[in-house]
Amino acid sequence: MKKIFFGVLLSIFLIITSSITYAAGLQIKVDGVVIASDVKPEIMNNRTMVPVRVISENLGANVHWANSEVTLTKNNVKVILNLNSTTAEVNGKKILLDIEPYIKNNRMFVPLRFIAETFECDVNYSNFTVTINTNPLHIDGEQVKAMQHEYHMTMGGVVQQVNGNAYNEAIYNIFMENKGDKVGAPEHYSWSPNIDILGSYYKVGQYEFLDQEDDILKSFEIYNLVHSDLEEYPEILLYDVTENQWYLFSNKAGKSINQLINTASKNGFLKIISDTVV
């Protein structure tokens, strides 16, 4: 009887250990990049569960918390999930989930395939790797391969590329949706801030959306006013290089772009092309 009991315990232990190993070895790839997270994905009832913010960031969805409810939005898709509930809502339509979201290690875990496919991504599983391919950004019918960002320091500059589809789309939309009124070109502007000239602007960043052959499809530049206390001059200007047109721009939009680039870097979607800063 003791041998039978010991055998049952050993079987249960092996099953649990195998399940933990399976979850620990699981990788999530989005557009070819392995997603890093301080909380690992899990397998629950044969479903891959992931922290909601990690997956939403890399698919380009915004996250909003309210009590035990989380809302994900991207373009014209709105998803509402509730803790410990198998009922989700997609654009007002009730959807029954195979497994309910739950909290673990202060993270809300959600079903990966449901989230990815709801946002029209392709999902495949093979050899302990879940591969997600997002929809690429197209500009004038041409597919964008990367967004190239250049900025300068006191001595030297950095050129880097963001390769994630969701990040490129989000950054491009910020530019297009936050163009203010058209304005004339400032009299003085350059990479280097000239503090001796009133009303001069310095270029804080150059952003180029590249096609598959690394040709420029669309290019923007953001300029900040050197003397920000001069009320007669706008604080921030956007130059649409492709259109050869200047626009008013907002500090909030500029910060949103920087935040997306930083998040892309943190999640492995950014690579340095050149760095001459000394």
Q: Which pLDDT value is given to residue 223? A: 97
pLDDT for res 23:
55
Considering the entire predicted model, what is its pTM? 0.84
pLDDT of residue 260: 94
Tell me: pLDDT of 81 over 80: yes
Tokens representing residue 98 in the block: 């195979």
d(CA 170, CA 122): 19
Mean pLDDT of the chain: 88
pLDDT tens digits, one per residue of 163-198: 999 999 999 999 999 999 999 999 999 998 777 788
What's the CA gap between 207 and 271, in Å, rounded? 15
Residues of the chain with pLDDT > 70: what percent? 91
Give the tokens for residue 196: 């001796």
Per DSSP, the three-state class of 263 is: helix
Amino acid of residue 132: I
Q: Which two tokens stand for residue 260?
A: 């997306």
Region 119-140: mean pLDDT is 92
- Burial of 21 (C-beta count, 10 Å sphere; 0-12/13-18/19+): exposed
Q: Is the pLDDT of residue 7 over 80?
A: no
Cα–Cα distance between 170 and 181 in angstroms, integer? 21
Asked whether the predicted pLDDT for residue 21 surpasses 60, the reply is no
Range with the poorest average pLDDT among 23-27, 130-134, 192-196, 266-270 = 23-27
Give the C-alpha separation, 260 to 252, whole Å: 12
